[in-house]
Amino acid sequence: MGDRTSWSGIYYATPQDAGLHAQDITIGTPAGPAPAWRFDGDRTTWAIHIHGLGSIRAGTLRGVLAATDLGYTSLVTTYRNDGEGPRVGNGRSTLGATETPDAEAAIEYAVRHGARHIVLFGWSMGAAIALQLANRSPHRDAIAGLVVDSPVLDWTEVIKANCTRSGLPAAAGSLAIPWLTLRPLARMVGLPAAIPLRSFDWTVRAADLTTPTLILHGTQDDSVQIRLSQALQDRRPDLVALEAFDAGHTLSWNSDPGRWQSAVTTWLTTRIPS
C-alpha cells in the first residue's frame, strides 16, 4: 500500500481505481465553473467531500467509499486555485476563507437536486471549510454531520507546527501571522484580502459548534497535531467523537482502511436519518 501513498494520502487516482462510477459534472461557484464528481445513491441523503490544501479531489475517494457503503449520493468538489477548479488572481490559497463559498455552491447543488440530509467530509483544510459551512451556511439546518480527517482547527498553531517540521523555529510562524491577517500586509504578499484566522480557531470557538462531528486523526501527525482535536473533544464531548490512528497527516485511512471505514459507517448509522 505504501508505494501508492503520496504525502497527501492519495490512494486512488480515479473513481474507477476505487471501483466507483462517477458522473463528471460542473458546479457554478463564485469563482467560476468547478469540475466535480457525482456518485448517485439515495436522493435525499448526500455526502459532500472537500479535499485539503496541496491535495486534489482524488484524495477524498477514500471517504466516498464509506458514503457509498451507506447508500448516500456523493459529491466530490473542487474549488478555486486548487489546480483543478477555477484559477483566481495569482492562484494562491486563502486557507479556506475564499474557498468556503465555492464549497457552499456544492451544498446548493445538492439541495437543488433533492438533498434533505447532508454529511460533510473534510480533509485537513477541507475540514476547516466544512466547519465554516456547518456554522454559517444558509443550508446549515440540512447539515446532519461532519466527518473530518486531520482537521485544521487552529491555523496559527498549524503554521507554527509546520515551521518546526521544516526546521524553522515556531516563532517564525508567529511572525508570519500578521502578513495573513492585516489587510495592508496581506495585499503586499498577493492575497486578495486579509484572512480571518480567528474564525477558523475551533479550540476557542468550541461553543459555536452545533453539528455532530467525527474526527479521525493520526497520533504521528506533525502538520496538524492531534492535541488540537483532543482539545475540541474535551470542550464538546456532547458533539465530538475522536478516533485516533497510528498515522501521519491524512494517513489514518491508509494505515487501517477497514477500521477507518467501520468507524465512519458505524458513527453515521447512529446519527443520520435513514
Q: What is the pLDDT of residues 148-197, one digit of tens each?
A: 999 999 888 887 766 656 665 455 445 455 434 535 433 444 545 556 67
Least reliable range by pLDDT among 20-34, 113-127, 150-164, 227-241: 150-164
Per the prediction, the chain carries an average pLDDT of 88
Decide the pairing of beta strands 32-39 and 72-76. antiparallel
Q: Which residue has the higher pLDDT, 9 or 19?
A: 19
Domains of the chain: 2-154+206-269 (3.40.50.1820)
Per-residue confidence band for 96, with pLDDT thresholds at 50, 70 and 90: confident
Q: What is the rounded CA–CA span in Å between residue 62 and residue 64?
A: 6
Per-position DSSP letters for 99-155, written without gaps between them: HHHHHHHHHHHHHHTT-SEEEEEEETHHHHHHHHHHHH-TTGGGEEEEEEES----H
Q: What is the rounded CA–CA span in Å between residue 266 and residue 61?
A: 18
Q: Grid coordinates in use for 174?
A: 508567529
Alpha helix stretches (DSSP H) within the chain: 61-69, 99-112, 125-136, 155-165, 170-181, 183-188, 226-235, 252-255, 257-269
